[in-house]
Amino acid sequence: MSILIDENTKIIVQGITGRDGSFHTGQMLEYGAKIVGGVTPGKGGQETRGLPVFNSVQEARDAVGCDATVIYVPAKFAKGAVQEAIDAEIPLIICITEGVPVNDMVGLYHQVKAKGLTLIGPNCPGLISPGKSKIGIMPGSICIPGKIGVISRSGTLTYEIVHALTGMGIGQSTCVGIGGDPIVGSNFRDILALFEADPETDAVVLVGEIGGDEEEQTAAYIKENISKPCFAYIVGASAPEGKRMGHAGAIVSGNAGTAESKQKAFAEAGVPGAKTIDEVAEMVAAKFN
């Protein structure tokens, strides 16, 4: 089984005629994703990669129906693109775009929650249910179907850890990149709840990083609400205080947001912590192989 997406998920692509949108549409189609159309304002009526292009999300949904949308547009247009998807009440919205202003996300976040929709991102690689479907930019070649869920704030590290799991014959149910910005549509706890309810996910790997207190809150949530084994890997142990490291949300301020505080929180919640990428796979293998 999987969470959020499977082989029947009908997807539209916002920004489908742009460079990134067109390229990744091709990659998703090649993997087997069920893309039914795309959106580029002003280019409605055209076709790209054999798919119809519409002027608006609502027009696309009315014409072809969809369960999900993925957004590949420049940062200055991302707020409008997500807003369109919210207004059309698309159940699953994935925003790949990096550099979306925090102030733009605040209002969008609350609208998504109020309408009961799911937003993944922004500044994320999307998600993949191996052997079924993928939405976003994750490389499908490194994934194999299985029963380990993966949730990560870091796109590249997601790939590295999934590759390590696959190399040891450990398959994944769904891999979700939630994004590395200070405000994202879905956090670790939101996705953990879905994995907890999925009968075919046996355990979850969490990839965290410095900045904020998301991992500390997640550790407390796991202690009270999650029965399945979890494993954690926290990036940024050597990061200097006050310096942003890659992601907008990856910044340490005083004792808050440090790798040490996050590792300690997970340890107190009974979640084993790995020090290297390979060690993550080794810990999971020791538990399930």
The residues, any chain, with a CB within 8 Å of residue 233's CB and separated by 6 or more, are 157, 161, 205, 206, 207, 208, 273, 274, 277, 279, 280
Q: What are phi and psi of 194, to 5 degrees?
A: -70, -40
Strand 203-209's sheet: what is its strand order?
133-136, 126-129, 172-177, 145-152, 203-209, 230-235, 273-274
Q: For residue 261, give the nearest of 249, 273, 247 by alpha carbon.
A: 273
Q: What is the CA radius of gyration of the chain?
A: 18
Which residue, 80, 51, 83, 81, is CA-closest to 64? 51
The verdict on whether 163 is a catalytic residue reads no
Instruction: Provide the token pair at 177.
Output: 């990149």
**Catalytic residue from among 24, 110, 163, 247:** 247
Nearest to 262 by CA among 242, 232, 241: 232
Catalytic center residues? 247
